[in-house]
């Protein structure tokens, strides 16, 4: 049975919320359990649909998994019986393809079904496969992809990514960590979640130079061990809560952040008038923030654009766009990385937002808009959060359907929003019978 959120908007959020663990760090780190037969103990793991799906795939393959208290997850891959992840389970998440690197390095083969994930545009697997080929692997197939290591295993080498693919870099890192010798990855992604995976691999026994840069050298080992690791806080969720607070006019303290991961988020949100302050590891959005677009020099229309780290994260463009509807002025939102991500803007237009979608990558937002409640559907995780921001800032009642998408990336978001004073309820939706 599907569910929807029913929201009564127009109420400032206020209070404290703790940042969850980074979803995009947890998914490759969970996959890394395949690199060793020893136990991996992870804490601060977000209990969301995507992480649970990743664990379910691993369990089907023979990995022992146990959830504990305080978001602890214990994994042991000492009895893996299958190198072909389940196709139906894999279709639920994009991150299922992160099992390819560990399977290939440890077992010599990976038979990968098509991954799932958000439909936000073309998301190439070529950088992953090119890295494996550079290491000597043989790749066959187009839908189901069979990857096999050469006799004697993968070879250390130089890998050059034709784009700084996050998951491609993560797969290359994991494969290289269990390949003896130095492998250098050029044009590597270096987002906080990539750095977190690299730190785990170091704990497991690999040596990695250049963590946090776009050139990383992995000194791999022929055997990796178990480790204990705490997942870093989710900078995308922190940015989402900052926008929720500012759009509704409330004061919210976000605890347990990593401020150094938020520099570009702070800078770009300041273009919309969102001035937050940092106290230790807490981020505080003060009450009654005056949202006002800061024009560029010469009164030129400014823009918020995304890009590979350390640029503004692509996963926050939808959130920035929703926040911009409440800011006084005009701004261009330029989504460079995914050609379908901005197609949800028609939902915000239906709520009263003034948005001109110029093309698949660019939208002009003029605010502030007086939003009103509406019935909308969430097409992906971040569009769903953008709709939540709009609904909580709007006057009247909104309904957001297909919230399974939001649950994939934000843990118990309705409970956490209620703790901040939001009027939001999760309601079951009865399926509509097909006509005879």
What three-state secondary structure class fits 156?
coil
Band of pLDDT at residue 122, cut at 50, 70 and 90: low
In the prediction, which pLDDT does 135 show? 97
Condensed to tens digits (0 to 9), the pLDDT of residues 246-255 reads 999 999 999 9
Closest CA to 104 of 157, 182, 193, 177: 177
Q: CATH class for domain 2-19+233-429?
A: alpha beta
pLDDT at 156 over 70: yes
Q: How far is CA 427 from CA 86, 157, 307, in A?
A: 31, 53, 37
Mean pLDDT over 391-413 rounds to 96
In the prediction, which pLDDT does 435 show? 58
Query: Do β-strands 145-148 and 109-112 pair in parallel, antiparallel, or remain unpaired?
Result: antiparallel
Mean pLDDT over 177-204 rounds to 98
Query: Do β-strands 375-377 and 397-401 pair in parallel, antiparallel, or remain unpaired?
Result: parallel
In the prediction, which pLDDT does 121 show? 46
Condensed to tens digits (0 to 9), the pLDDT of residues 194-228 reads 999 999 999 999 999 999 999 999 999 999 999 99
Q: At what angle do helices 235-248 and 381-393 cross, to 10 degrees?
A: 20
Active site residue 118: yes
Half-sphere exposure of 304 (CA within 13 A, CB side): 31
Spatial separation of the C-alpha atoms in residues 57 and 111, rounded to whole Å: 13
Give me the catalytic one of 50, 118, 196, 407: 118
Q: Under a CB-based contact definition with an 8 Å cutoff, are residues 379 and 119 in contact?
A: yes
Tokens of 424: 């939001």
pTM of the full predicted structure?
A: 0.93
Q: Where are the domains of the chain?
A: 2-19+233-429, 23-230
b/e map of 379-393 (b: 16 or more CB within 10 Å)?
bbbbbbbbbbbbbbb
Condensed to tens digits (0 to 9), the pLDDT of residues 35-64 reads 999 999 999 999 999 999 999 999 999 999
Q: Report the share of the chain in percent with pLDDT over 70.
A: 97
Tokens of 304: 């918020």
CATH architecture of structural domain 23-230 = Alpha-beta prism (3.65)
Band of pLDDT at residue 233, cut at 50, 70 and 90: very high
Tokens of 254: 């976000």
Mean pLDDT over 406-418 rounds to 96
Q: Under a CB-based contact definition with an 8 Å cutoff, are residues 413 and 388 in contact?
A: yes
Tokens of 172: 């290359």
- When the pLDDT of each residue in the chain is averaged and rounded to a whole number, the result is 94
Condensed to tens digits (0 to 9), the pLDDT of residues 321-376 reads 999 999 999 999 999 987 888 999 999 999 999 999 999 999 999 999 999 999 99
Q: Under a CB-based contact definition with an 8 Å cutoff, are residues 395 and 8 in contact?
A: no
In the prediction, which pLDDT does 432 show? 63
pLDDT at 378 over 80: yes
Alpha-carbon torsion angle 379, 385, 390, 395, nearest 10 = 100
Q: What angle do CA 408, 42, 91 make, to 5 degrees?
A: 35
In the prediction, which pLDDT does 430 show? 79
Band of pLDDT at residue 433, cut at 50, 70 and 90: low
Backbone angles phi, psi at 242, to 5 degrees: -60, -45
28 Cβ contact list (under 8 Å, min separation 6): 95, 98, 167, 170, 174, 193, 197
Condensed to tens digits (0 to 9), the pLDDT of residues 272-281 reads 999 999 999 9
């Amino acid at each position: 049975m599907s569910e929807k959120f029913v929201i009564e908007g127009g109420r400032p959020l206020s209070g404290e919320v703790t940042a969850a663990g980074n979803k995009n760090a947890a998914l490759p780190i969970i996959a890394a359990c395949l690199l060793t037969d020893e136990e991996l103990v992870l804490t601060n793991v977000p209990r969301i649909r995507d992480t649970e799906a990743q664990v379910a795939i691993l369990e089907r393959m023979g990995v022992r998994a146990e959830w504990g208290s305080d978001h602890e997850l214990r994994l042991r891959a000492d009895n893996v019986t299958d190198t072909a992840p389940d196709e139906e389970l894999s279709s639920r998440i994009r991150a299922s393809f992160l099992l390819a690197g560990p399977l290939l390095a440890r077992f010599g083969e990976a038979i990968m079904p098509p991954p799932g994930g958000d439909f936000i545009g073309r998301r190439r697997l070529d950088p992953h496969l090119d890295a494996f080929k550079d290491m000597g692997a043989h790749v066959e197939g187009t839908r189901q992809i069979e990857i096999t290591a050469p006799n004697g295993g993968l070879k250390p080498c130089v890998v050059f990514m034709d784009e700084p693919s996050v998951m491609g870099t993560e797969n290359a890192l994991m494969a290289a960590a269990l390949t003896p010798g130095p492998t250098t990855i050029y044009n590597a992604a270096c987002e906080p979640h990539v750095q977190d995976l690299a730190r785990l691999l170091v704990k497991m026994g690999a040596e990695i130079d250049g963590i946090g840069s776009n050139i990383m050298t992995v000194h791999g080992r022929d055997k990796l061990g178990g480790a204990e690791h705490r997942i870093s806080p989710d900078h995308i969720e922190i940015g989402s809560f900052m926008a929720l607070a500012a759009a509704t006019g409330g004061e919210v303290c976000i605890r347990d952040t990593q401020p150094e991961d938020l520099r570009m988020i702070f800078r770009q949100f300041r273009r919309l008038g969102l001035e937050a302050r940092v106290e230790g590891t807490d981020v505080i959005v003060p009450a009654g923030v005056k949202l006002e677009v800061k024009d560029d020099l010469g009164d030129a229309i400014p823009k918020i654009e995304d890009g590979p780290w350390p640029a503004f994260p692509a996963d926050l463009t939808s959130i920035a766009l929703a926040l911009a509807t409440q800011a006084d002025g005009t701004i261009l939102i330029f989504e460079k990385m995914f050609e379908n991500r901005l197609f949800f803007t028609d939902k915000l237009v239906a709520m009263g937002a003034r948005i001109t979608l110029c093309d698949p990558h660019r939208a002009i937002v003029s605010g502030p808009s007086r939003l009103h409640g509406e019935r909308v559907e969430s097409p992906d995780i971040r569009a769903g959060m953008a709709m939540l921001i709009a609904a909580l800032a709007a006057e009247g009642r909104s309904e957001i359907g297909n919230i399974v998408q939001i649950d994939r990336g934000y843990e118990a978001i309705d409970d956490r929003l209620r703790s901040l004073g939001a009027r939001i309820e999760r309601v079951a939706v009865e399926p509509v019978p097909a006509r005879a």
